[in-house]
Structure 1
Amino acid sequence: MLNTEMLLTKRFSGDRPGLDLLGIEKAAVPVTVVATEVLAQEIKPLPLLDEFVLRLLKADVGGATDIAAFLGLDQELVDAVVADHFREGALVIGPGQGVLTLTARGRKLADELESIRPIQKNFKIAFDRLTWSVADYEPRDLVTKSVAVAEGCVLLPAQRTTRIKAPDITPAAVNSILKRNDRGRGGSIDVLDVIDVAPSMHRYLVVNLLIYGDQDRGEVETAIVVDGDHSDVHNTALGTLGGTDKLGFTVASAVPHTLLPAHLEAERVCPAPGALFDENSPRVRGIQLVEHQVALMAALETATERLLISTDQATSSVVDSNFLAKLEQRLRARVRVDLVFSKCGREAQAELDRLARRYRRFKLHRPEDGATNTLVFDGNWIVSDFPWLSFRGAGLPFRDYQGTVVTVPDDTERAYAEGLAPFEA
């Protein structure tokens, strides 16, 4: 049941001493795919010394002693190369003392080495505009701006607004990418110079943005995670651009758990032993901030009879493609689903309306006076002020939320009925 965010929380929650991990946002790094014209040559099959030995023998410079003197090298180095090519049948010793002669194979190899000439090639290179550097990003990991916005990503700034120029893409950077590249798009060449570059298309790389904060002092810090690891180069680049001030992130005081009826408050256990929703879990169990998302995922993945989510606002950063896919799985399993919210982003509303038209067991409710935060699925009632459908990307301060899971049948039934009562005909 642990999704990417839960794994990130477990791994990185203690990385900033004195600060709490208060949120994980989806963010988008600006990337430009650049059409790059380069001057390159094929990577030669032999080390440079081997090449010189064969080509000097072809030019009748002499034996190993003469070659070592010509190159200004220790003769032992040349003797080792000669021995290697002798074993491989590229040269023979003789006819005179100290004379080396190329075989047909050795002459062909020397001819091939001489024939390699620089060529012009064109590549499409990903250029990270936040770090202002060449990047080895897979094309399938890059999305358009419209997709990034629809998924509720925080759009990260570019380091510069100027046009990408040839000096920004160095031969060393291109060669480094080609050597790491296993897609066979040119790993057998060595780039000598970058002749020209031209922007081909603008894209975004979706990453995770961790938000740490001190709720008493209002201090807030961020960390960018790429492919499951902290990216120091991105963090440094964002820091030079103003970091959290640039993004407008703030933190607010923690929200204590909502008081329950006296008989439930008396049973409440926090912290509680065991995993959330275990069979032996307490009937009234307190939950921490990160466990709210665990509860939401459990509802979307395991509900078999009913699912009610009530909250003030729904945003596309939460009601994203993953959320919608899981929600549709519940509907296909014939689970009754009710979503109650007062405000909703346009993209999220369009997708929810599409599901509502397709599934009769799915109902959307828009109360005029605002909605209370409630989550009920099957026999579980989660009592919390946690914004279930807008805890990411809503522009609200990041804060710690405390909640309670209630599995007492009568109270869960009452909460479910009260949540739907204003909409029952």
Structure 2
Amino acid sequence: MLDPDVLLAETFSRDRPGLTLLDIEDAALPMSWMLVEVLAQERKRLALLDEFVLRFVDAGISRETELSQILGIEPLIVRSAIADGMSRDYVDRRAAQDGDWRVALTPEGHNAATDLASVSPKELTLGYAYDRITWSVTAFPRSALIGRDEVKERGIRTLISRSNEVSESDITAAALNRLLEQQNDDEIRVEILAVKRVVAKAHLFLPIKLLVYADSEGREVQVGVVIDGELSRSHELELNKAGGAEALGIHVDVAALPDEAPIPSGLVRDRVSAAEVEQLRSMALLSDVKQARAEIVPDESKAESEQAIAELDAISVRSVGVFEHRDLLLDALTNSNQRLLIVSPWIKRAIVNDEFIALLERRLNSGVRIHIAHGYGSDDRGSDLSALRRLADLRKRFPQLFFLVRLSNTHAKILIWDENWITTSFNWLSFKGDRERTYRMEEGTLVRIPEQVNEAYSRYCRLIEDGLT
């Protein structure tokens, strides 16, 4: 199971030459949920000319030349419409004695003409999500949107939007009809004729992703917008007009390079570099990326991915890139069998959410021994108290297996599970949900040498358990 952001990173990390993808952040796109009163009618099955040919023939105008004269259209065009009616089994065409052509309706054609004549406009009230960034009506359902309280709870950044009120002139019948056509639903039979009135019922938000890019010196920072897995250039353009990354409060510090991993010097010499690991990772994720794009995965690609995964698993000391941290944390929470240890200065509810707690509980029910340590400074102002409470409640339920402690001042960012040890500059339990954080080129080291992992585990367990006394 892969973190969705890992697949996004693999898809878009090379989207901007000269820039590095530093992070992928949850964000909220402001929307207004609108009730739109419209004049609509059932969508007709035929083109307008075909409809009029049927209705005139049904009214007794049977000669081809008469149809051409009444409609004011060239005979060749009328003949084409008649041919279309014949293909639908709506009309018959026979030569008359005077050289003209006579047209008659079949029973199916008569029924179609009757149905077309009975269609009349009616008033409807429809609900639409209005995008307050691109100032356009969208097809997103109400269920895809979230409220302000959830945005606050998740600690996610909100895009800058216009303060104008949406009016009737902002939502046109043509725009609504385009949305209906894009649904590709053969059952859609409604055509919007006019927009009569619009009413804003709620100000909501669409969950999206922001891609944060920067050059090696941090002078150029760009923010991409991903909606439903696709880059939205129109939203990025509007975002740039409003001030881009700076206006959003996104700060990059490439000078604050990750600390050297505190591992024995002999392991540093054996450490496989980030560039080599990234190449293998790209190959390993190839099949998953293709599947996410609904592409066919050839057997050759599957074999190459499996080979790359095997090569990565065989490396005993290697680099860990910023987006792989998320994937490895999910692996630890999902698959650890004996032990799990996390050291992170801060804890945010955006990470320690329902899913995180459920995964921890599942591990505890399987008998996995879990240690979590946190703490930086004299208090917990950098952490979310609700997240700390949830962990404390879980600790009470599993006192023999779960150890939770606040350290006085920890800089360490450690993840150990079973025979894996990662030391890094990545904040394991606060990499989401902090709108004030600075974006950096985070990197860590993964060690898979049993005696080294055991020594590190014992060291950090002592540190945590000493904090409990």
TM-score, structure 2 length as denominator? 0.82
Could you say what the CA RMSD is over the residues aligned between the two structures, in angstroms? 2.8
Q: Quote the Cα distance in structure 2 between the aligned partners of 1:406 and 1:277.
A: 16
Shift of 1:249: 0.8
How many Å separate the matches in 2 of 1:90 and 1:141?
47
Question: For residue 433 of structure 2, what is the amino acid of its counterpart?
Answer: G
Alignment of 1:250-265 (within 5 A): 250-252=251-253, 253=255, 254-265=257-268
The number of aligned residues is: 423
Query: Which letter does structure 2 place at the counterpart of 1:352?
Result: L
Correspondence 1:74 to 2:74: yes
2:169 aligned partner? 167
Q: CA deviation at 1:84?
A: 4.9
State the shift of 1:414 in Å: 2.9
Please say which of residues 173-182 and 303-312 is displaced more in the overlay: 173-182
Whole-Å separation in 2 of the counterparts to 1:337 and 1:145 = 34
Structure with more helix by fraction: 2
Question: Could you say which residue in structure 1 is the equivalent of 2:448?
Answer: 407
- Whether contact under 8 Å (1:218, 1:250) holds in the other structure is no
In the alignment, is the contact (CA less than 8 A) between 1:174 and 1:191 conserved in 2? yes
* Contact 1:341 1:371 (8 Å CA) reproduced: no
Aligned residue identity for 1:397: T
2:412 is the alignment partner of 1:368: no
1: distance between equivalents of 2:198 and 2:221? 39
Q: 1:89 to 1:377 in 2, by over 3 A?
A: closer
Give 1:234 deviation, angstroms. 1.3
What amino acid maps onto 1:112 in structure 2? D
After superposition, where does 1:20-419 map in structure 2 within 5 Å?
20-61=20-61, 63-85=63-85, 88=89, 90=91, 98=100, 99-102=102-105, 106-158=109-161, 160-181=162-183, 187-252=188-253, 253=255, 254-271=257-274, 281-342=314-375, 343=380, 344-360=383-399, 361-370=401-410, 372-394=412-434, 395-419=436-460
Identical positions, percent:
33
347 and 224 in structure 1: CA distance in 2 versus 1, 3 angstrom threshold: farther
Q: Which amino acid aligns with 2:467?
A: F
Cα displacement (A) at 1:41: 1.4
In terms of mean alpha carbon deviation, does 56-65 or 78-87 score higher?
A: 78-87
Q: 1:276 to 1:315 in 2, by over 3 A?
A: farther
Higher mean displacement: 75-84 or 391-400:
75-84
**TM-score, normalization: structure 1?**
0.89
Structure 1 residue 371 displacement after superposition = 5.2
1:294 counterpart SS class:
helix
User: Which ranges of structure 2 fall in alignment gaps of 5 or more residues?
Assistant: 281-307
Structure 1 residue ranges without an equivalent (≥5): none
Partners of 1:112 and 1:286 lie apart in 2 by 69
Q: Aligned in 2, Cα 1:104/1:276: closer, same or farther, shift over 3 Å?
A: closer
Deviation per CA, 1:216-258, whole angstroms, max 9, x where unpaired? 2443111011121111121112112111111111111222422
**Cα distance change of structure 1 residues 63 and 322 upon mapping to structure 2, 3 Å threshold:** same
Query: 1:126 Cα shift?
Result: 1.3
Assess, with a 3 A threshold, how the Cα gap between structure 1 residues 89 and 216 changes in structure 2: closer, same or farther. Answer: closer
- 1:256/1:401 contact within 8 Å kept: no
TM-aligned CA deviation for residue 72 of structure 1: 2.1
1:352 aligned counterpart, secondary structure: helix
Matched residue type, 1:151: R
Change (3 A) 1:110 1:287: closer
